[in-house]
Amino acid sequence: MAEKTNLTKNYNILPGIKMGVLSIEYLKKLVEVAGKYKVPFLKITSAQRLAIGGHAAEDAEQIWRELGQQSGPKKPVGIHYIQACPGSRWCKYGRQDSLGLGEKIEEALMSLELPAKTKVGISGCPMNCCESFIRDVGIFGKKNGWTLIFGGNGGGLPRIGNIIAEDLSDEEVISLAERCLRFYREGARKKERTARFMERTQLEQFKSAVVDR
Ligand code: SF4
């Protein structure tokens, strides 16, 4: 029979890990901190972040601090996370640099305020390991550049996003993604996800408003 414990079932998500990329130094620190605070549960989430759980609630802030994560004021609702696959840097099938584009998108768009949480998935080739068709902003690489998808969702009411444009450079796909997000922000109801917004928006009207503007 399994031994009963008094451990809390709460866990923290640590947003400091970007696109699931970990360094040896960070892993060493994580082992040290997890041991110090007797953390029984560590998990890479489906969003490529790190969940830390089962520790005493009063240790949470100190664990964050020792791992170099700020626990400052909450940022406004907007891009919740950016996922990216290994792409052309590390995957033999990669056609474009998904990790590099993720870094650029984080810098350009992470602070944009939006009506609801928004997820970004970037895949380096059409195999779409980062499930780009079911992300609010989905991007995947082909030989001639990036394809941008908008309005996907993988939740309880899934939706395949719409292809907005193809063969885009890094700068073009970032700029177009921003125009899509701003158009969505102007027209969406409070807390309305992009998938629901796109269901009640005419695709051609959306495209003519955001492409080549
Ligand atoms: S989407 Fe393509 S590049 Fe990215 S991990 Fe999958 S196969 Fe590799």
Give the closest residue to 79 by CA, choosing from 205, 174, 213, 211: 174
Residue owning tokens 């650029």: 104
Q: Are 101 and 83 in contact (CB under 8 A)?
A: no
- Non-local (6+) Cβ contacts of 64 within 8 A are 12, 14, 70, 71
- pLDDT tens figures, 47-67: 888 888 888 878 888 888 888
Q: CA–CA separation, 7 vs 73, rounded Å? A: 27
Mean pLDDT of 107-126: 96
- pLDDT tens figures, 22-38: 899 989 999 999 999 98
pLDDT higher than 60, residue 72? no
Give pLDDT, residue 53: 85
Q: Is the CB of 138 under 6 A from ligand 1?
A: no
Please state, for a pLDDT cut of 90, what percent of the chain lies above it: 67
Name the E strands within the chain. 11-14, 41-44, 50-53, 79-84, 118-123, 137-142, 145-150, 162-168
Q: Is the CB of 31 under 6 A from ligand 1?
A: no
Q: Are 28 and 10 in contact (CB under 8 A)?
A: no
41 alpha carbon – ligand 1 mean position (Å): 29
33 alpha carbon – ligand 1 mean position (Å): 32
Token pair, residue 15, equals 């947003």
5 alpha carbon – ligand 1 mean position (Å): 41
pLDDT higher than 50, residue 1? no
Which residue of 83, 88, 90, 93 sits with most ligand 1 atoms within 8 Å of its CB, as the best mutation to test the pocket? 93
Residue owning tokens 């998108």: 105
Closest CA to ligand 1's atom 2 = 125
List domains and CATH numbers for the chain.
11-66 (no CATH), 79-210 (3.30.413.10)
- pLDDT tens figures, 2-22: 444 455 667 677 766 788 898
Give the other-Cβ count within 10 Å of 181's Cβ.
25
Token pair, residue 10, equals 């709460």
Q: CA–CA separation, 182 vs 178, rounded Å? A: 6
Q: Are 171 and 180 in contact (CB under 8 A)?
A: no
Q: Is the CB of 19 under 6 A from ligand 1?
A: no
Give pLDDT, residue 71: 64
- pLDDT tens figures, 156-173: 999 999 999 999 999 999
183 alpha carbon – ligand 1 mean position (Å): 30
98 alpha carbon – ligand 1 mean position (Å): 9
